[in-house]
Amino acid sequence: MAVEENLLFLALTETHLTYEHLNAGINMNHYSVYRADRQGRSHGGVANYIREDIAASAEVLTSFSNGTTELLVVFLKSINLLAITLYRPPNTTHGTFRQITQKIEQILSTLPNPNTEVIMSGDFNFPNINWPEMKTTGGTPNDKQQVCDLIRLVENYFLFQLVTDPTRERNILDLIFSNNPNLLHPYEISDTIMSDHKLIKVKASISTTTTPISHVQNSTAEGTLSDLNFYSTEIEWEQLRTKLGEIDWINTMQGKDIDNILSLLTKICYETYKMHIPKKTKKRTNTSKIQRDRKIIMIKRHKLQTKLKNTTYPPVRVQITEKLRELEEQMQKSHKEQQRKEEMQAVSNIQQNSKFFFAYARKKLKSGATVGPLTKEDGTLTGDPTEMADLLKSQYESVFSRPRTDRTTGDPLSLFDDRPNDQLTLSSINITKEDIVIAIDNIVPDSTAGPDGFHAQLLKKCKLELATPLQSLWSTSLENGTVPSALKVNNNQRRGRLCYVKGTQGTTQKVKSLIHNSFTYNGTRLFNCIPQQLRDLTGVSPETFKRKLDQWLQKLPDCPPTPGYPNSNQNTLPQITREAGGLEYTGASGGRP
């Protein structure tokens, strides 16, 4: 109901939760849960589900349980509202309830803003109070003492009580208090199959200055590899490999520059794949999030509730109440069916797409943390993805270190030694098709595609057919020292637009980012091209390799890192150059890394 009707918050009593119940197990989409579980005994407990755009500014002032009564107080800064939820079971002693009222009085008396709105709700279990006169009509001396404490609290802080209709059988047990008569509107009471207490729904006049958090889907351009579903069971891999094998890659890419090679590779692959691989089913963001069957139930329920409100004839009210109960059972069944389908979908993807399964499992183990809303310079909160990304970018850039101008050079070639060709230097790197195939074999099958859009499943299923064009792409890039322009941008999913990949020092960090994020540039292990002495070092155990590497690193002086070279130091670069220059027999040349 909270998600379907976009409620501001939902207060629950008698939650019966313990430390064994994780928040992820009771999580609701777009809501944050706050709880006060009963300590030392079972049953009891209270919880409050707060909408995420409001919960971003929430502060829990107290979450208390004395083993009998529970109290949860949450301050919502963005709307200046204090939400108090408590549960008092029957037969509570005066001293036990007094602990609750004292904590509430302490919080109300220390509020920094006297204009803070207060909503106090819960199951008080005082059937002997006549509302709204606030007079006792019986009960034990113990109950009367507790009623006096409650009335004193209400009068001292000018609270009024809203509920005047029975909430359980003929008794008014569930109460709602507020310090602002204009804050809460007339309420609605309805039966529910989940409790013997009735459900109370109240509308409030609360203005939110927070921009609601938008959950946008990453939109990709039409006609790209990202549009295809490489996990589909309907893919005709044999026919696809045959089509790719018929393409004359050598003549197609001969004489082309690096940008044209990647563009041709992507275009040809997409035109070939789209005939054999189905497209992804895109989520439509302009449609309602509520399933159609539930929407029909909600419409019927609203009509019946309106009819029930305007009907006084008892037999008709009984019939309407029974129909409302049936609709609630249908709603509950719809939620369980959706949960069952999600579980079956996760189980069916264990072998083919394990990432999907573990994402579903993690969602049930730990509630995901959301980013935002964030505070802008003018003090207002925003949940807009673009504005939040800009705020985070500004904060991130504010801590960048400034490069030293005395270390810059206008001639990058001066950083490298000019050695004669007859010396043992690494002058070229030969990449074979076998290197490409070995690199593809090392890719994790369910890894995410990089900015080029080439999915891991695609590369692994068609590795022999794609080895030739990938070899040409890699060789041209290394020979000319260039990177395709298309790989210098990344489709940022949070911002929903293209962003340029930038490093702290020019293209060095940019190339590193591209190598780590692109499958066509991630995987070709140049093991056969490195010097023999370094190649022999990889034959030792990981412990030995780490120990030798640590011993060498400990000899380096401790000083600030060089901008753009996070693994190098300003004072160690000349030393590295000298040492590398002296190891001619290894085939390594001097210069910066």
Q: Has residue 37 got a pLDDT over 70?
A: yes
Pairwise CA distance, residues 484 & 192, whole Å:
61
DSSP H helices in 366-426:
385-397
Measured in degrees and rounded to the nearest 5, phi and psi for residue 194 equal -90, -10
Residue written as tokens 């971003």?
A: 56
| DSSP of 165-234 | S-SBTTB--EEEEES-TTTEEEEEEE--TT-SSPEEEEEE-----SPPPP-PPPP--TTSGGGB-TT-TT
Please give the pLDDT value at position 590.
38
- pLDDT band for position 456 (cuts 50, 70, 90): confident
Please give the pLDDT value at position 552.
56
- How large is the average pLDDT for residues 490-510? 40
Residues paired with residue 458 on neighbouring β-strands, in sequence order = none
Helix (H) or strand (E) holding 496: none
Residues 231-242: tens digit of each pLDDT: 777 777 888 888
Please give the pLDDT value at position 554.
59
Residue written as tokens 């068609």?
A: 462
Residues 6+ apart with CB under 8 A from 518: 450, 451, 452, 454, 487
Residues 79-125: tens digit of each pLDDT: 889 999 999 999 899 999 999 999 999 999 998 888 899 999 999 99
356 burial class (0-12, 13-18, 19+ CB within 10 angstroms)?
middle
Please give the pLDDT value at position 72.
95
Residues paired with residue 189 on neighbouring β-strands, in sequence order = 200
Residue 68: name the closest of 50, 88, 95 by CA: 88
CA distances from 585 to 86, 202, 532, 534 (A): 78, 82, 9, 11
Q: Please, are residues 383 and 53 in contact by the beta-carbon 8 Å criterion?
A: yes
Please give the pLDDT value at position 48.
92
- pLDDT band for position 53 (cuts 50, 70, 90): confident
Where is average pLDDT lowest: 101-105, 189-193, 320-324, 502-506? 502-506
Residues 261-298: tens digit of each pLDDT: 888 888 888 888 777 787 776 655 444 567 788 888 88
Q: Please, are residues 121 and 11 in contact by the beta-carbon 8 Å criterion?
A: yes
3-state class (DSSP) for residue 492: strand
**Encoded tokens for 105:** 């009085």
CA distances from 291 to 109, 212, 334, 492, 516 (A): 46, 21, 9, 29, 40
Polymer length in residues for the chain = 593
Residue written as tokens 């499992």?
A: 361
**Encoded tokens for 197:** 């207490």
**Encoded tokens for 351:** 């072998």
How many helical (H) and strand (E) elements, i.e. helices and strands, does the chain have?
Answer: 18, 19
Pairwise CA distance, residues 520 & 439, whole Å:
10
Residue 125: name the closest of 148, 141, 147 by CA: 147
**Encoded tokens for 145:** 């003492």
CA distances from 220 to 150, 452, 453 (A): 59, 12, 10
Please give the pLDDT value at position 415.
64
3-state class (DSSP) for residue 235: coil
Mean pLDDT of the chain: 75
**Encoded tokens for 234:** 């309907």
Residues 393-437: tens digit of each pLDDT: 888 888 777 777 777 777 766 666 565 555 555 566 788 888 888
Q: Please, are residues 328 and 193 in contact by the beta-carbon 8 Å criterion?
A: yes
Pairwise CA distance, residues 43 & 373, whole Å:
35
Q: Has residue 221 got a pLDDT over 50?
A: no
CA distances from 176 to 126, 220, 296, 303, 507 (A): 13, 49, 30, 26, 62
Residues 508-567: tens digit of each pLDDT: 343 334 334 443 333 333 344 444 444 455 555 555 655 665 665 555 554 444 333 334
Other Cβ atoms closer than 10 A to 473 = 25
Measured in degrees and rounded to the nearest 5, phi and psi for residue 496 equal 70, 25
Rounded to the nearest 10°, the torsion over CA 85, 91, 96, 97 is: 40
pTM of the model: 0.53
Domains of the chain listed by start with CATH number: 2-204 (3.60.10.10), 212-284+365-413+426-529 (no CATH), 294-364 (no CATH), 531-593 (no CATH)
Pairing of strands 117-123, 81-87: parallel
Helical packing angle, 258-273 and 463-480, nearest 10° = 160
**Encoded tokens for 482:** 């260039």
| DSSP of 2-32 | HHHHT-SEEEEE-----TTS-GGGG--TTEE
- How large is the average pLDDT for residues 127-150? 88
Task: Give one word for 125, left, alpha or beta, with left for phi > 0 and alpha for psi -120 to 50.
Answer: left
Other Cβ atoms closer than 10 A to 587 = 17
Q: Has residue 186 got a pLDDT over 70?
A: yes
